[in-house]
Copies of this chain bind each other. A is one copy, B any other.
Amino acid sequence: MAFISKSLIKNRGLDKLKHKANELLKRTLDQHVSLAVTGLSRSGKTAFITSLVNQLINEGNGAKLSFFEPVHQGNFIAAKRIPQKHYHVPRFDYDAAITALTSEPASWPEPTHGISELRLAIRYQPKDSLLKYATDMATLTLDITDYPGEWLLDLPMLKQTYQEWSEQTHALMTQAPRREYSKGFLQKLADLDAFEFASEELLAELSQEYTTLLHTFRHDLGLSVIQPGRFIQPGDLAGAPILEFFPFPGLENFDANEYQNAPDNSLVGMLRSRYLEYKEQVVKKFYKEHFLRFDRQIVLADCLTPLNKGKESFADLELAMSMVLESYNYGKSGILSRLFSPKIDRLLFGATKADHVTPEQHGPLVALLNQLVHQNKHHLNYEAVQMKTLAIASVKATNSGMSKHKGEEIPVIQGQRLLSAESNQSNKVFGEKITIFPGAVPSQLPKDEYWQSKPFNFIAFAPLKDLKKHQSLPHVRMDQVLQFLLADKMI
């Protein structure tokens, strides 16, 4: 008995040695990609990551990845989930998400809050590179990080003083569609003396009101520019003074000297110092602790909901996209390159929910997203970053076909309508199966005539029935996503 267990241990020791030598060899050959996935809330981040992982780990079991060269050329071997890198970052809950999609009735996965991580090991056969002479198998380690797009919206604050930020935010609040909702709050501020002593409780109360406004802007009005972004997803900072400030209008009309010397316990003094602390402790911290380690980024944008909501909601998406783009502007004038050295070299914009329009509209959809992305490009310097736009559906929820309408063949999609889709509040499935033509997507930034004719009617769909955990999910262009983000690391 003693002999057997000793010999077992000895064998284990030998195995371990072999294993270690192998590891050492591989480490020099192996590749690593840190992929960041972001998008404003409800743009479909969770479904995207779930599908991406699902496609890779179920490759060979129905995965349709013909535009992903490592699969197309037969170099892809297999992928599996391995323990994530950072112990203090919440795990992306793939199991819960895939369970939601494959349950009966199926539902969309719960949205994530804050940041989360997941790591894949992708085995492949090197073909074109030097690696193939050294080994018949290499591993690409893929770290996927999910974080709220709202965090990117805060970047421009880093170059703004409290006064500049107040002016800009106040300007938004006095225009439609925010104006009507902001009136009461702005009236309260107008009655306050900026230089008077203010209590913590007053600031807490007003900040609560401002935060409620931000939620209304985001969820009721479908707006995209939400600042400060952390206010609507506070996590452990809930109730901390660092999340209790707001824009104060009219600072530009004060005596500059007096404003500069406002005492620390005055209303404006407190607002200003909390704004500065927010930039240091929240905004900069995210860029330092997370953003700097990303190699590749996909930004997801739901262009269809703002098209549905109307002109102002769409204009707000335009503004948000230009703010998001600042994070990828590493030119001399870029805020980021002055503060840090980010290293993202590929940036993909995905127009999500492409399956919610008929296939011939994908062209206009991607053209539209392209305009959103590129209209700001001439101001910026993206030399270092290779960019691409795609219309995608992470998990396809409709089938497309043709239907006769008034004697004419028209393209349609068919799927199960989501219950209370308008409010976007519920993931519950409504049984109704419908066949529709949701309308034409404009291929250019829409003009007034477009909004007047209201040619578009976006409907939210439930996931398809009978999806399986261990089969690959139906999708639109996830293979092209993989091709752009990963293929060059697997040659």
Number of identical protomers: 2
Report the bound CA distance from A33 to B89 in whole Å.
Answer: 35
A407 within 8 A of B: no
Q: Mark A107-139, 1 if CB is under 8 A from B, else 0.
A: 000000010100000000000000000000000
Give, as a whole number of angstroms, the nearest-CB distance from A120 to chain B.
12
Contacts of A189 in B (CB 8 A): none
Closest residue of B by beta carbon distance from A95 = B201
Stretch with Cβ within 8 A of B (4 or more), from A230-238, A362-370, A428-436: A230-238
Task: Give residues of chain A (253-286) contacting chain B, Cβ–Cβ below 8 Å.
Answer: 255, 258, 261, 263, 265, 270, 273-274, 277, 281
With A82-B265, A95-B201 given, is the CB distance from A90 to B258 under 8 Å?
Answer: no
Give, as a whole number of angstroms, the nearest-CB distance from A90 to chain B.
4
Give, as a whole number of angstroms, the nearest-CB distance from A39 to chain B.
20
Report the bound CA distance from A90 to B134 in whole Å.
Answer: 55
A200 within 8 A of B: yes
Query: A9 contacts B255, CB within 8 Å?
Result: yes
Query: B91 contacts A200, CB within 8 Å?
Result: yes
With A83-B265, A200-B83, A263-B16 given, is the CB distance from A90 to B239 under 8 Å?
Answer: yes
Contacts of A237 in B (CB 8 A): 88, 90
With A90-B240, A242-B87 given, is the CB distance from A81 to B235 under 8 Å?
Answer: no
A405 within 8 A of B: no
A439 within 8 A of B: no
Contacts of A12 in B (CB 8 A): 195, 258
Closest residue of B by beta carbon distance from A285 = B88
| A interface residues with partner B (beta carbon < 8 Å) | 9, 12, 16, 19, 81-84, 87-91, 93, 95, 114, 116, 195, 199-201, 204, 235-242, 244, 255, 258, 261, 263, 265, 270, 273-274, 277, 281
Assuming A12-B258, A83-B241, A90-B240, what are 15 further A-B pairs, CB within 8 angstroms? A16-B261, A19-B263, A83-B265, A84-B200, A84-B241, A87-B240, A87-B241, A87-B273, A87-B274, A88-B240, A88-B242, A89-B240, A90-B239, A91-B200, A235-B235
User: 25 A-B residue contacts at CB 8 Å?
Assistant: A12-B258, A16-B263, A81-B199, A82-B200, A82-B265, A83-B265, A87-B241, A87-B242, A87-B273, A87-B274, A87-B281, A88-B240, A88-B241, A88-B277, A88-B281, A89-B240, A90-B238, A90-B239, A90-B240, A91-B200, A91-B204, A91-B241, A235-B235, A235-B236, A236-B236
For the complex of A and B, list the 5 residue pairs with the smallest distance between their C-beta atoms, beginning with the closest. A90-B239, A87-B242, A236-B236, A235-B236, A87-B241
